[in-house]
Amino acid sequence: MSINDIERVTETTYEAFEEKRQDKPLIILYPRNRNRSALLAMVLVHYGAEVFYYSLGEADQSLTAWLGNMVNSESLPADFGRQTREALSQKKAAPEDLAAAFGADLGALRREPYAFVLDALDNLEMSKQAARFFRALPGAMPDHVQVVINARLLDLQPWNDLVLGGQATVVGNEDALNGGIYGGAQKLGQLEVFALSGGHVYIDGQPVTSWDGSLPRHLFYYFVDHPMVTRDEIFEIFWPNMSVKEATNVFHVTKRKISERLGYELTNYSGGFYVPSVRLSVHYDVRNFETSVQEAVEAEGQSPASWYQAVQLYRSDFLPGIRLPWVEARREALKHKYAQALIGLGRYHRGLGEPDHALGYLLRALREKPDWEDVHRDVMMIYYQQGRRDDAIDQYHALEKTLDAMFGIQPSKDTRHLYEVIAAV
């Protein structure tokens, strides 16, 4: 894989990677980056063959088990780990002593610059002992070694403190929501909500997989999607047929369940409104998506980067599988904006004289909104200009069938005229 391929897959430039990794003992591959294997390839590009690798398994759950298994692993040189073994043999060795021993072994492994990759680190339980070990490790490491952390899931701590302290850097987070969860205020919880990517939720780096029923989950999404809402609005959406007293009881029980699942209060009550909690930093893909669409609209087509960002964020329909009226209305509105973004990119590429790129985006828009007649005309014109007369005619007939099935109408006079011109050629 070439460096250009790596950059394209990771959406991270090698230049940015090099800049970030400078003088940082720990390199964290951002867990939410879908192509962390390609990020590892960037490490190989920099260090070449000078990389040592250990992948944690199910037997590496505790700090001492991991260190013991690693220093005795056949994947590493046989003479590696002498001081770590000695430290492990001491009764009640402190995590800081283990970090000092491991750092010394890293220094003895090789005198020239190299990287030591710890893969699948989420197999290690991040206990207080393990957190103390990693907090102490950067200070125990020699300058010519960088430890690379790769995991599907990572807690917020101790990594956030290490990033804030300049002892760790995060790569591959360039397109993460709001730059990702690391590097923010120390005392804020980090809530990530991917409503346009399957409805996944993470709190402090870990997935929320259990909600104790559908109601807490649905109310959670409603709060996140409505950052300022009254109690009456909530009751009208969720319990329109209950008395105020009954709805109030159910509401408080459900709200408490949400707090239990998150470990934080999701909202504060202020001035008659429920608003986001001041203790949480919320990373919400829908909010970023709508901001990108709005920026592109306000720029009147002069900001294709915002259209690209919007299209990248929209990975699936809003909260698929939930069939509540407010969700379905929101889903349709967001789908409309997604189609708008696709059309914006299609017309942008058409203006650049790139008809194939334009067609790709415009046809994707029509899959979302098959009744948008002006987009059908754009597609017909591109086909016609490419000499694809039959495709242009087929596109008209597809529109004709769609409008008849959906609304019982025929295409507009302008569209019929365009069809007649193309058909007469």
For tokens 């980090």, what's the residue? 190
Angle in degrees, CA 134, 157, 286, rounded to 5:
140
Beta bridge partners of 203: 191, 206
Q: What are phi and psi of 189, to 5 degrees?
A: -70, 155
In this prediction, residues 404-423 reach a mean pLDDT of: 93
Peptide bond into 158 cis (omega under 30): yes
pLDDT for 42: 80
Q: Which residues contact 49 (CB under 8 A, 6 or more apart)?
A: none
pLDDT of residue 1: 60
pLDDT of residue 377: 96
Instruction: Give yes or no for residue 336 having a pLDDT over 70.
Output: yes
**227-283 pLDDT, tens digit each:** 999 999 999 999 999 999 999 999 999 999 999 999 999 999 999 999 999 999 999
pLDDT score recorded for residue 184: 80
- Per-residue confidence (pLDDT) for residue 2, from 0 to 100: 67
Q: Is pLDDT of 300 > 90?
A: no
Predicted local confidence at residue 33, as pLDDT: 86
Can you tell me the distance from the alpha carbon of 263 to that of 172, in angstroms, rounded to the nearest whole number?
27
Identify the residue with better confidence: 45 or 340: 340
Q: Is the pLDDT of residue 167 over 90?
A: yes
**Residue 18 — very low, low, confident or very high, per pLDDT cuts 50/70/90?**
confident
Alpha carbon distances (Å) from 294 to 97, 110, 336, 362, 374: 53, 53, 13, 19, 21
* Token pair listed for 82: 């002498």
pLDDT, tens digit, 9 for 90 and up, residues 105-118: 999 999 999 999 99
Whole-prediction pTM: 0.89
Report percent pLDDT > 90 for the chain: 81
pLDDT digits (tens, 9 = 90+) for 63-88: 999 999 999 999 899 889 999 999 99
Give the closest residue to 122 by CA, choosing from 152, 95, 149: 152
How do residues 185-215 score in pLDDT, each as one tens digit? 778 999 999 999 999 999 999 999 999 999 9
DSSP per residue over 114-133, as a string?
EEEEEE-GGGS---HHHHHH
Q: Which of 141, 191, 128, 187 is nearest to 161 (CA)?
A: 187
Q: Please report, rounded to a whole number, the percentage of residues in the chain having pLDDT higher than 70.
A: 98
Q: Please name the amino acid found at residue 371.
A: D
- pLDDT on residue 301: 65
C-alpha 85/C-alpha 62 separation (Å) is: 15
Give Cα separations from 124 to 63, 112, 151, 163, 174 (angstroms): 7, 29, 10, 20, 26
Omega before 216 within 30 of 0, i.e. cis? no
Express each pLDDT in 115-161 by its tens digit.
Answer: 999 999 999 999 999 999 999 999 999 999 999 999 999 999 999 99
Task: Indicate whether 284 pLDDT > 90.
Answer: yes
What are the structural domains, with CATH classification, of the chain?
3-186 (3.40.50), 193-283 (1.10.10.10), 285-424 (1.25.40.10)
pLDDT at 176 over 70: yes
